[in-house]
């Protein structure tokens, strides 16, 4: 890389937008409308758990967040959203840095991420929260790096569901792909814990699960071919939001295959659908 190239690779306009609005590309009003006005999430209130939805998921998978909200209410979980959720920086800053394999840029993206996440921690503490619950898979590695910066517990939404979901019934067969989490290894050395999702699936009576190979990456074309070839059902369940979007895009030519996130399956199980 030539001298001076680095300063142009992280877009400072995106950084400024996150600082101003919490999101990287706009004012966040569209995201807020979906979460608060359309779905009905509580926001900015005192609660035990603060749900971090991520920047793009409300507009990218509102039906999944609606399912999650229904589960939170069903289990009577005390939750809220942040008044101003700051982007962790992975999509606009961290991912480009990792793909460029630029260690200096990765380091800078991690510093910016810590700055943004610290603002979310401050709000959560002020709201009396005990834990941060991550829905967006892209947020997870950045928050993992910041665990030592707060007394708040940081968990995934799968862990939260595992704590409250005692069992359900669903006579169905599904394929389950946990994801490979390759990119996160350049962001954090801490391994990701995907075991809560397996425990949740195991609590669903009548559900048969075909576990797909997590050494395969849905972003790598040859791996994707192997994943598709290993499908045994017409329903593919994910826990990673990134994998969900990737698989939905790449399986468009197979409309008979339904791509779902874990909250949708759990909601079906508790409602007996």
Mind listing the pLDDT tens digit for each residue in 52-97? Answer: 999 999 999 999 999 999 999 999 999 999 999 999 998 899 888 8
Q: How confident is the model at residue 108 (pLDDT cuts 50, 70, 90)?
A: very high
pLDDT at 17 over 80: yes
Judge contact between 176 and 141, C-beta under 8 A.
no
What is the mean pLDDT of the segment spanning 202-230?
Answer: 95
Better-predicted residue by pLDDT, 213 or 255 = 213
Better-predicted residue by pLDDT, 253 or 51 = 51
The residue among 249, 154, 170, 245 whose CA lies nearest residue 203 is 170
What is the mean pLDDT of the segment spanning 226-249?
Answer: 95
Q: How confident is the model at residue 206 (pLDDT cuts 50, 70, 90)?
A: very high
Q: How confident is the model at residue 240 (pLDDT cuts 50, 70, 90)?
A: very high
pLDDT at residue number 191: 86
Q: How confident is the model at residue 3 (pLDDT cuts 50, 70, 90)?
A: very low
Judge contact between 211 and 134, C-beta under 8 A.
no
What is the mean pLDDT of the segment spanning 27-56?
Answer: 96
What is the mean pLDDT of the segment spanning 24-43?
Answer: 94
Task: Extract the tokens encoding 143.
Answer: 């928050």
Measured in residues, the chain has a length of: 273
Mind listing the pLDDT tens digit for each residue in 156-197? Answer: 999 999 999 999 999 999 999 999 998 788 788 888 999 999
pLDDT at residue number 70: 98
Domains (ranges, CATH) in the chain? 6-162 (3.40.50.1860), 167-271 (3.40.50)
Q: Average pLDDT, whole number, for the chain?
A: 93
pLDDT at 7 over 90: no
Mind listing the pLDDT tens digit for each residue in 44-64? Answer: 999 999 999 999 999 999 999
Compute CA distances 188 → 10, 107, 163, whole Å. 19, 11, 26
pLDDT at residue number 255: 86
Intra-chain end-to-end CA distance of the chain, in Å: 55
pLDDT at residue number 273: 64
Angle between helices 262-271 and 62-74 (to 10 degrees): 40
């Amino acid at each position: 890389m030539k001298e001076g190239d680095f300063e142009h690779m992280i877009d400072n306009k995106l950084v400024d937008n996150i600082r101003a609005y919490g999101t990287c590309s706009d004012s966040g009003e569209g995201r807020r409308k979906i979460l608060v006005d359309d779905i009905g999430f509580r926001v900015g209130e005192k609660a035990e758990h603060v749900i971090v939805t991520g920047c793009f998921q409300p507009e990218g998978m509102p039906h999944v967040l609606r399912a999650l909200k229904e589960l939170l209410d069903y289990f009577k979980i005390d939750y809220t959203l942040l008044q101003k959720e700051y982007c962790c920086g992975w999509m606009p800053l961290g991912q480009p840095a990792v793909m460029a394999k630029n260690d200096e840029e990765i380091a800078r993206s991690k510093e910016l991420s810590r700055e943004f996440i610290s603002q979310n921690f401050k709000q959560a503490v002020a709201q009396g929260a005990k834990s941060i619950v991550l829905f967006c898979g892209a947020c997870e590695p950045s928050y993992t790096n910041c665990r030592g910066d707060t007394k708040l517990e940081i968990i995934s939404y799968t862990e939260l569901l595992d704590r409250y979901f005692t069992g359900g019934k669903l006579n169905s067969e599904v394929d389950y792909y946990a994801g490979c989490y390759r990119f996160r290894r350049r962001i954090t050395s801490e391994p990701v814990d995907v075991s809560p999702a397996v425990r949740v699936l195991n609590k669903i009576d009548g559900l048969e699960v075909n576990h797909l190979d997590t050494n395969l990456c849905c972003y790598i074309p040859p791996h994707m071919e192997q994943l598709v070839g290993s499908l045994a059902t017409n329903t593919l369940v994910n826990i990673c939001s990134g994998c969900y979007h990737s698989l939905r895009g790449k399986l468009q030519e197979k409309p008979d295959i339904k791509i779902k996130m874990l909250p949708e399956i759990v909601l079906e199980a508790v409602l007996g659908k």
